[in-house]
């Protein structure tokens, strides 16, 4: 019933209660089951989070459709999903949506089957447009799949006689990326703490430790910078 519970925790509770068959349940079936367990309807935002997790893990729509990518990210950021009048995402919302889904799927971080390669051109361009709208020309590691116009030549040609301006540009981009990464880092740590407290009946300690270790490892990967050396 807590509107601030993470989608991952809701999914863990659902699997603990009904097993993996929950992935084939209709939303109304889940609502009725929860009504019987909780004696009241769960908040719509929590239904949206749970269904967002299930949709992202049982279909490829999160990766290929902007119309699905946006509301799933909205839901995982504790907002009711709106598939008809979705507001544009901000970079932090998108980053957390991608991060939370990535902690629960099996795509590798690198290689031909990597997570970045699962995103369609449509989603990549949308994410690039979001970053550009917020004045970010270099995507942080968590959003590296975004397709953006390369800023280097434009910047270096515009300020070829002013190295200080070039350095200032890259410094601003680094700070923008750090803010997004810090947002994801804090959310990830909060998720780990929350998941540790969720009262699961069938908690497997080995699985739990592996999840926490993967989450912390991803944080290190997302912190890595691919900025060119501007010294």
Residue 29 within any structural domain of the chain: yes
Does the pLDDT at position 16 exceed 90?
Answer: yes
Does the pLDDT at position 183 exceed 50?
Answer: yes
pTM greater than the 0.95 cutoff: no
- What is d(CA 192, CA 208) in angstroms, rounded to the nearest whole number? 10
List the beta strands (DSSP E) in the chain: none
Residue 209 burial class via C-beta count within 10 angstroms: exposed 0-12, middle 13-18, buried 19 and up? exposed
| Mean pLDDT along residues 153-161 | 55
Residue 187 within any structural domain of the chain: yes
Domain span at 92: 7-223
Residue 195 within any structural domain of the chain: yes
Residue 229 within any structural domain of the chain: no
Classify 171 as helix, strand or coil. helix
* DSSP class of 103: T
Residue 99 within any structural domain of the chain: yes
- What is d(CA 49, CA 10) in angstroms, rounded to the nearest whole number? 8
Does the pLDDT at position 230 exceed 60?
Answer: no
pLDDT band at 160 (very low <50, low <70, confident <90, very high): low
Residue 228 within any structural domain of the chain: no
Number of domains in the chain: 1
Least confident of 19-33, 80-94, 192-206: 80-94
């Amino acid at each position: 019933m807590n509107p601030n519970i993470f989608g991952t925790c809701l999914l863990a509770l659902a699997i603990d209660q009904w097993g993996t068959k929950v992935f084939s349940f209709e939303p109304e079936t889940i609502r009725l089951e929860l009504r019987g367990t909780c004696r009241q309807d769960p908040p719509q935002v929590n239904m949206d989070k749970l269904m967002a997790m299930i949709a992202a893990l049982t279909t490829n729509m999160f990766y290929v459709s902007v119309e699905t990518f946006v509301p799933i990210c909205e839901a995982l950021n504790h907002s009711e999903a709106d598939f008809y009048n979705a507001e544009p995402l901000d970079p932090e919302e998108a980053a957390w949506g991608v991060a939370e889904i990535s902690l629960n799927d099996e795509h590798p971080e690198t290689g031909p089957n990597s997570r970045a390669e699962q995103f369609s051109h449509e989603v990549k361009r949308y994410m690039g447009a979001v970053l550009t709208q917020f004045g970010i020309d270099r995507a942080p590691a968590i959003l590296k799949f975004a397709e953006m116009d390369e800023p280097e030549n434009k910047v270096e040609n515009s300020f070829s006689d002013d190295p200080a301006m070039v350095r200032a540009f890259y410094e601003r981009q680094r700070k923008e990326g750090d803010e997004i990464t810090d947002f994801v880092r804090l959310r990830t740590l909060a998720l780990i703490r929350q998941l540790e407290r969720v009262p699961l009946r069938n908690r497997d300690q080995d699985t739990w430790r592996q999840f926490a270790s993967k989450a912390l490892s991803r944080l290190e990967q997302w912190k890595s910078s691919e900025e060119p050396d501007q010294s």
